[in-house]
Amino acid sequence: MFDTLSDRFDGIFRKLRGKGRLSEADVDAVAREIRLALLEADVHVSVVKRFVNELKERAVGEEVTQSLAPGQQVIKIVHDELVAILGGATGKLRGGSASPTVVMLAGLQGSGKTTVAAKLARHLERDGKRVLLVAADLQRPAAVEQLRVLGERAGVPVFSEPTDPVAVARAGVDEARRLGRNVVVLDTAGRIQIDADLMDELARMRDAVKPDDALLVLDAMTGQEAVNVAESFAATLPLTGVVLTKLDGDARGGAALSIKEVTGLPIVFAGTGEKLDAFEPFHPDRMASRILGMGDVLTLIEKAEEAFDVDQAARTEEKMRKGQFTLEDFLDQMRQMKKLGPIQNVIGMLPGMPKELRNAEIDEGELGRVEAIICSMTPDERRDTNLINGSRRARIAAGSGTTTTQVNAVLKQFKGVQQMMKQLTKGGKGRKGRMQIPGMPNL
Amino acid sequence: MKRASDRSERPRLRDRMSRSRSGFSGFRGRLRARGRLDDEAWDELEETLLLADVGMPTATMLLDQVKARAAADRVGDAEALPALLESEIANVLHAGTDRSLRRASSGPSAWVVVGVNGVGKTTTIAKLAAREVDDGHRVLLAAADTFRAAAADQLVHWADRLGMEIVRAQEGADPGAVAFDALEAAVSRGVDVVLVDTAGRLHTKTNLMEELKKVLRIVERTPGALQEVLLVLDATTGQNGLAQARDFTEAVGVTGVVLTKLDGTAKGGIVLAIEAELGVPVKLVGLGESVEDLVIFDPIEFAAALVGANEDAD
């Protein structure tokens, strides 16, 4: 997410490091490069202008010129500005007091409304809400069918009827009341903001259901137009926030940086993948850190807490201490790791990761192979790898569709892990001091 | 989708891009007010190009060319800038290039449609198919988007409506198999054009790009069939469009760009960067909801629509 912008900043800051003093020419050069980086990231021209002016003003002022480490000072200014622009608290829905509360989604064609509807419904159900999805996109062929399929996948009921969008919206809310559902997520047809008829239809839907939350769904790859789109939709709907989609590509986040600044609308959620669980609340401060290459450890911890089974972790720990860590535990751990999502995403959240590693293609298939190899062993073999002789190796390789060399590699890797655990549990107390994570600011 | 009765009623780029001109019309007004061609006029020009999503490298290049022209022609009047810009944009877009879709000399022509999620691939296919049917060609649709829920249903809807043949499979089926069946059916039934719809995929997802390569390899097995790999690009896309074009071209050899949703709002300036930096031609533009709204891209008209140098005289 936003890697390109963060790479650019990294390059700019690197040049600043170690500089004793910054001349006005230095500041100008930095300002030019930051301007370019932001424009390439599709940040709105007006926001870029303000950003660069602010940076120049503060950088030639005494806070930088008097500083002994002016480079650091510039980074701090950029960070402050980014946080100010992304601004505000972690995204969440406003909700309402009456049940059902209504969340209405709107946006251009192809921004991802239908997928977001299903993802949001799933997210809310996990929070203990009882959601009804209402499909009011009667425009695009098979849009209702698409939501039905996704709803089924998310385990959320879907309502629609072949009348007209305003009637569907109204009937959907009634249906939610009848079924005792406490949140309605209303999917609407994609429309372009200059289509007066369709915008009027949106206004009539708004009057029919009085949404507690009206969210604009916006493709993160949108260019300079993002701001116009947000402003136009806000003029029709009382927009309460924005959902940014397709953030799992190499979108550079210009839309994210511009919308809050220009329209004041918070970014509430972010869609980060094709699966239904690739959806998260938006944290502006964490995003700023990420753009500046400082990682996003908080999100990683939260994901870990969600993915890991506490009891199982305790059992594994116990086993490790007793030196009884087996291939079965190894497999369990690996599977839990997988629940964190693609390794690429995890690396992106770690601070100080070099660009090469962040951009490296990681072969997720390798994990699958290891899994297949372990699954092709008998329970006895998994508990005691010493049993695995030549002919067993050949059998395991055949069973998992790999080669004996690959089986050997896994066994060797596992032995290494076992060895490491023994050392940790025996003599681990000698070494003191915190683990230093490079690139992490001292807190 | 509405259908106009006559092909001559095709909309014109300029009428539909009215909104995108507004940035430039403000710019033209300011230039008139300024009168002199000074640094600020050039800054205005740069900013206007950036607002149209042209991107910094291409904007700088255009700016340099317009500056050179202005110097050579001894232009001192800011008001003359838009006309210069228009002709330089048309230059960058290689006005005069043949942008028609290629056809096989014998046997079916396969046009494979690719792109990221939500750019309008399926709708583009429906419009393209309708054009072909209108022109008396026999068309077969291949619903190789087996990933998105109900994507094939969307295409079946169009096939029914326009009376076309379609090859589809279960959701989650191998898209390569769909392409194979479609090509086989096309050859045996004597179809003229096979339109292959593929699932939207972000250009950064290596495994999905591999899947796409496989679909292309399968189409190529029918000698001479593969004629076009069309990248569909949403006109509201910013600088990321360049990355999309680059990655898709690298993976599957894009032969042309279809710029969609250019109706009224977006600027589509990113296609300047794509043609200038990658040399991939824009072949078609989508200007609206109806079938007739898919038209062959005309660089001169696009430049005029974008800048509108002659608008003020209207």
Q: Do A224 and B47 touch (CB under 8 A)?
A: no
* Per-residue pLDDT at A349: 66
Distance from CA of B302 to the nearest CA of A (A): 18
Q: Where are the beta strands (DSSP E) in A213-278?
A: 213-219, 241-245, 267-271
**Residues on chain A touching B147 (C-beta within 8 angstroms):** 274
Mean pLDDT by 10 residues, chain B (314 residues): 45 58 64 78 87 92 93 85 90 86 95 95 93 93 91 90 90 93 96 96 91 96 96 92 95 95 75 92 88 87 76 46
Mutate to test the interface with A, among B48, B53, B236 (most CBs of A within 10 A): B236
Look up residue A428 and give its two tokens: 């681990």
C-alpha of A135 from chain center: 26
Question: Phi/psi at A383 (nearest 5 deg)?
Answer: -80, -30
B145 CB burial (10 A radius; 0-12, 13-18, 19+): buried
Q: Where are the beta strands (DSSP E) in B102-220?
A: 109-114, 139-144, 165-167, 193-198
Chain A residues within 8 A (CB-CB) of chain B?
36, 39-42, 45, 108-112, 140-143, 145-146, 148-150, 153, 192-194, 219, 221-226, 228-229, 245-246, 248-252, 254-255, 274, 361
* Per-residue pLDDT at A293: 62
Q: Do B239 and A41 touch (CB under 8 A)?
A: yes
Look up residue B60 and give its two tokens: 């700088």
Number of Cβ within 10 Å of residue B239's Cβ equals: 25
**Residues on chain B touching A110 (C-beta within 8 angstroms):** 117-120, 234, 261
* Per-residue pLDDT at A316: 73
Tell me the per-residue pLDDT of A71-95, one tens digit each, with 9 for 90 and over: 777 777 887 788 778 766 777 898 8
pLDDT above 90: percentage of residues in chain A: 35
**B154 reaches A (C-beta below 8 A):** yes
Is the four-CA dihedral A153, A158, A164, A167 of positive or negative sign?
negative
* Per-residue pLDDT at A184: 97
**Residues on chain B touching A193 (C-beta within 8 angstroms):** 265
Among partner residues B116, B237, B261, which is closest to A109 by beta-carbon distance? B261
Question: Phi/psi at A382 (nearest 5 deg)?
Answer: -65, -35
Contact B139, B191 (CB under 8 A): yes
Contact B178, B212 (CB under 8 A): no
Q: Do A110 and B117 touch (CB under 8 A)?
A: yes
Of A232, A236, A250, A125, the closest CA to residue A181 belongs to A125
**Residues on chain B touching A221 (C-beta within 8 angstroms):** 116, 234, 237-238, 240-241, 244
Closest residue of A to B60, CA-based?
A36
Closest residue of B to A145, CA-based?
B150
**Residues on chain A touching B243 (C-beta within 8 angstroms):** 250
**B264 reaches A (C-beta below 8 A):** yes
Which residues lie closer than 8 Å to A182 by C-beta, 6 or more apart? A99, A100, A101, A129, A130, A131, A176
Please say if the pLDDT value at position A351 is more than 70: no
Q: How confident is the model at residue A289 (pLDDT cuts 50, 70, 90)?
A: confident
Which strand (E) or helix (H) includes residue A327? Answer: helix A327-339
Residue B233, SS3 per DSSP: strand
**B119 reaches A (C-beta below 8 A):** yes
Contact A73, A79 (CB under 8 A): no
Tell me the per-residue pLDDT of A151-206, one tens digit each, with 9 for 90 and over: 999 999 999 999 999 999 999 999 999 999 999 999 999 998 888 999 999 999 99
Please say if the pLDDT value at position A431 is more than 60: no
Contact A185, A132 (CB under 8 A): yes
Among partner residues A40, A112, A192, which is closest to B239 by beta-carbon distance? A40
Mean pLDDT value of segment A89-114: 90
Among partner residues A39, A141, A222, which is closest to B50 by beta-carbon distance? A39
Distance from CA of A205 to the nearest CA of B (A): 22
Distance from CA of B207 to the nearest CA of A (A): 10
- A140 vs A303, higher pLDDT: A140
- Residues A427 and A68: their CA atoms lie apart, in Å, by 43
**Residues on chain B touching A228 (C-beta within 8 angstroms):** 265
User: 171-210 in B: which are within 8 Å (CB) of A?
Assistant: 171, 202-206
What are the strands of the beta sheet with A158-159, ordered from one edge? A158-159, A131-136, A183-188, A101-107, A213-219, A241-245, A267-271, A279-281
User: 268-287 in B: which are within 8 Å (CB) of A?
Assistant: 269-270
Q: Do B117 and A246 touch (CB under 8 A)?
A: yes
Which strand (E) or helix (H) includes residue A271? Answer: strand A267-271
* Per-residue pLDDT at A189: 95
What's the mean per-residue pLDDT of chain A?
A: 82
**Residues on chain A touching B19 (C-beta within 8 angstroms):** 194
Q: How confident is the model at residue A430 (pLDDT cuts 50, 70, 90)?
A: very low
Strands B109-114 and A241-245: unpaired
Q: Do B53 and A224 touch (CB under 8 A)?
A: yes
Closest residue of A to B48, CA-based?
A45
Look up residue B77 and give its two tokens: 């009047």
Please say if the pLDDT value at position A363 is more than 90: no
* Per-residue pLDDT at A273: 87
Mean pLDDT value of segment A217-235: 92
- A388 vs B13, higher pLDDT: A388
Report the predicted TM-score, pTM, of the whole model to 2 decimal places: 0.77
Q: How confident is the model at residue A21 (pLDDT cuts 50, 70, 90)?
A: confident
Among partner residues A111, A254, A361, which is closest to B238 by beta-carbon distance? A254
Mutate to test the interface with A, among B146, B201, B239, B271 (most CBs of A within 10 A): B239
Among partner residues A111, A251, A254, which is closest to B118 by beta-carbon distance? A111
* Per-residue pLDDT at A353: 58
- Residues B19 and B309: their CA atoms lie apart, in Å, by 15
Closest residue of A to B247, CA-based?
A250
* Per-residue pLDDT at A76: 76
